[in-house]
Amino acid sequence: MRHTSRIITFLTLFTLLPSAAHASSYTYVVNAGDTLSKIAREHQTTVDEIMQHNQLDSDRLSIGQTLALTGTSLPIVDLTTANPYQVNENPELLEESKKSKKARVVADVLHVRNTPSLEGEIVGKLYYGSRVELIEPGAEWTKIRYEQEESYVASEFLKGMERRSNDSKDDDLSVKKLDELEEIVQPLLKVPYVLGGTTTNGFDCSGFTSYVFAQMGVTLPRTSDEQFLGGEVVDLEDAKPGDLLFYDALNKGRVSHVAIYLGDDMIVHANGDDVRYGKMEYMNKLYPFYGVKRYLDFE
């Protein structure tokens, strides 16, 4: 993204998986700096829906104004502040783990512990969308591999990853590309957004994609619109991990944002705040989608 005055703020509230969300009607109090478009983005709704629901005849807001919203209200999960006496079960994970030994985190922050207990020492934390290797899935606690050590996380905040039944050469290559991508991306999570940034001190959206692809031996053009002009055109339904997705996040009538597709409806991008995982489904609802380009070799 190229203009600081129009940087798109994409909070974790909209990147949580639907299975972790709770659809509801609720109220929101307008704060300094809020706009209808900002509120709509943060609550998975649209400006038109907010205006119609609240019978607004203009987009002007006042600090302290109360708006009725309908959308997805998503809690931030941090097990230091969650109920210290209970861990909810996730029996679905046991079934999902039979198909794949990988899962993704569906909490904003998930603490990693050295024992399967809320009293266990916190040895690290995982962010929403992070992919984890399952060693021993359980209904309440799951043993995972974390920084080459065996550790534990609460099972209720994991979702098993889908695995295609087809073991074709193409699928094997996609899995290898995803493994390579995840190894590069996960240490970059939470690196701040910096306009024009191309290093681990800060990235903009195309600086992030350029950096990641450089680690894979591929040189990309510098900006998102230039990246869109290159590469191989791919239909969205044929997208594979490592393909680039392009959006008009600034509503300028041209490409202004790029994200890396990871499969299973997941993306990773520098979104205006920092590097984070997200849902392709939500991006496609929020911004005009321009297409998919492939720079990686799957042959």
pLDDT one-digit tens code per residue, 21-69: 334 457 788 888 788 877 876 776 777 778 777 878 777 888 888 888 8
- Is 43 one of the catalytic residues? no
**Per-residue model confidence as pLDDT tens for the chain (299 residues):** 444 333 333 333 333 333 333 344 577 888 887 888 778 767 767 777 787 778 787 778 888 888 888 654 444 444 443 444 455 666 677 666 666 688 999 888 899 999 999 999 999 999 989 999 999 999 899 999 999 999 999 999 998 876 554 445 556 677 888 899 999 999 999 999 999 999 999 999 999 999 999 999 999 999 999 999 999 999 999 999 999 999 999 888 999 999 999 998 999 999 888 999 998 988 988 899 999 999 998 76
- Is 257 one of the catalytic residues? yes
May I ask the CATH architecture of the domain 169-294? Alpha-Beta Complex (3.90)
Which pTM does this prediction carry? Answer: 0.68
Parse the chain into domains and list their residue ranges. Answer: 22-73, 91-160, 169-294
CATH class (in words) of the domain with range 22-73: alpha beta
Choosing from 22, 53, 111, 269, which is the catalytic residue? 269
pLDDT given at position 51: 78
pLDDT given at position 89: 66
Choosing from 43, 53, 111, 205, which is the catalytic residue? 205
- Is 205 one of the catalytic residues? yes
Burial of 242-258, coded b for 16+ CB within 10 Å and e otherwise, reads: bbbbbbbbbeeeebbbb
Q: Which fold has domain 91-160?
A: SH3 type barrels. (2.30.30)
Kindly give, in sequence order, each residue whose CB lies less than 8 Å from that of residue 127, ignoring residues fewer than 6 positions away.
105, 108, 109, 110, 189, 190, 276, 277
